[in-house]
Amino acid sequence: MPQLDTSTWFTTILSTTLTLFILFQFKISKTMYPLNPNLKTIKMQMHKTPWELKWTKIYSPLSLPLQ
C-alpha cells in the first residue's frame, strides 16, 4: 500500500494562507469608511392626537343609571 506524500502540504497551506490574507487586505483597503463618525442627536417629537386636543369621557355600560 503506497504512502501518502505530505512533503508539499506545508508549502500549499502556507501559500493558500498568504494568498487569502493578501486578498482580504486588498478587499478591506478598497472599502470606504466615514472619516469622522458623529453621534446624531435624536429630537423627540410630540404628536398631538385628536383625542388629546379635547376632553372626552368614556362611560362604562355598567356605570350608567338603571332605567
Tally the C-alpha atoms within 13 A of residue 13's C-alpha that lie toward its C-beta.
5
pLDDT value, residue 33? 77
| 13/6 Cα distance (integer angstroms) | 11
Whole-structure pTM value: 0.45
**pLDDT at residue 38 in the model:** 75
DSSP 8-state assignment for residue 30: T
pLDDT at 16: 97
Give the pLDDT of residue 9. 92
Per-residue model confidence as pLDDT tens for the chain (67 residues)? 678 888 899 999 999 999 999 999 999 999 887 777 777 777 777 777 766 666 656 666 666 666 6
Domain boundary assignment for the chain: 7-59
